[in-house]
Amino acid sequence: MYTQTIPAVPLADFANDIRAGLKTSGQKELPSKYLYDEVGSALFEVICVLPEYGLTRADQRLLRRHAQDVVSHFQGPVIVTELGSGSGRKTRWVLEALCRRQATSYYPIEISQSALARCVQELGQLSALSIVGVERPYLDGLLEVAARRRVREHLLVLFLGSTIGNFDREPAVNFLKEIRRILHPGDGLLLGTDLEKPIRDLILAYDDPLGVTAAFNLNLLGRINRELDGTFDLSAFEHVARYESAHRRIEMHLRSRMKQEVSIPKANLEVDFEEGETIWTESCHKYNLEEVVQMAKASGFGCAAQWLDGEWLFAENLLIAE
């Protein structure tokens, strides 16, 4: 079963966020969630199979190996929801492990309608599984799912692929606290975290030789052109990935190749760029295992288990609401 809800991002909200991010007198910045329209979501699926981007394969290996270990921490009925499900491909192992013991309801939460459709297509043939897609921002969607739970049902939240790394460190803890406020004691959060590794490997993962990540990043400007009648010349910007050691994060930027002016009529905006000026589009923070344990503790969770991939340093962390 697939239920489509009201679109998560009205055009007016998109326009307001674009205007706020580009009008600033300092570093121009756009929310990374807007990278994932239909084109962006499709490009990200390609990124996930690039040899340089080992994160997704590490995520998949751990889920395949330890799905049964994850679900064994919960007794009785469990419903599953996922923040930013994407295609849902790597979620299959957790759902299959649950479906072997009970009929399971799965609520993928996405702001990308095309990603939800692919998720339903990917997982819709699993027996004993009911799928209800929730087209909402993360916390709004989680509140909606939590309201559907029955008495004695545990809620297992999946936040995979190191999406938590898109938050700065303090906001990441605050976000985990918001999740915890919605959960009941004994509920679970399976959190994927990318770990620190050689800088050269990180740069290649976010600036691949084929240029797929560059196309993914530049598509944000294309989306502004398509939806807000923007006049961005994509050839006048270039993709930049750099590692900021002080914050232990990869930053993705779009750098203006020249001095230029861009008009975005539906955002009521004219914006000037200097040559070399950048728009900051995404951050990807990297962690160590103990740091994740401390983040869990600070946000009201206990860390019940950590599973580490040795090929690409990545961890799945099972957090239990205290």
Domain boundaries of the chain, sorted by first residue: 11-28+42-51+210-285, 55-197+286-321
Residue 3 has a pLDDT of 43
Which amino acid is present at 287?
Y
What strands, in cross-sheet order, belong to the sheet with 237-244?
Answer: 28-29, 278-285, 249-256, 237-244
Strand ranges in 195-248 using DSSP code E only, listed in sequence order: 237-244
Residue 268 has a pLDDT of 96
Residue 8 has a pLDDT of 53
Residue 55 has a pLDDT of 96
CA 221 to chain centre: 19
CA 292 to chain centre: 17
Helices 212-228 and 38-47 pack at an angle, to 10 degrees, of: 180
90: left (phi over 0), alpha (psi -120 to 50) or beta: alpha
Q: In this structure, are strands 314-321 and 301-309 parallel, antiparallel, or unpaired?
A: antiparallel
SS3 165: helix
DSSP states along 84-136: T-TT-GGGHHHHHHHHTTS-EEEEEEES-HHHHHHHHHHHTT-TTEEE--EES
Q: In this structure, are strands 314-321 and 188-194 parallel, antiparallel, or unpaired?
A: antiparallel
Mean pLDDT split into 10-residue runs, the chain, 322 residues: 49 94 94 93 94 96 97 95 89 95 93 83 87 92 95 96 95 98 98 97 97 98 98 98 97 98 97 98 97 98 97 98 98
Q: Does domain 55-197+286-321 sit in CATH 3.40.50.150?
A: yes
The closest alpha carbon to 82, from 49, 59, 50, 58, belongs to 59
According to DSSP, residue 149 is labeled P
pTM for this model (two decimals): 0.92
Residue 268 CB-density burial (10 A; 0-12 exposed, 13-18 middle, 19+ buried): exposed
Residue 2 has a pLDDT of 45
Query: For residue 257, how many other CB atoms are within 10 A of its CB?
Result: 13
Measured CA to CA, the distance from residue 111 to residue 148 in angstroms comes to: 20
Measured CA to CA, the distance from residue 203 to residue 205 in angstroms comes to: 5
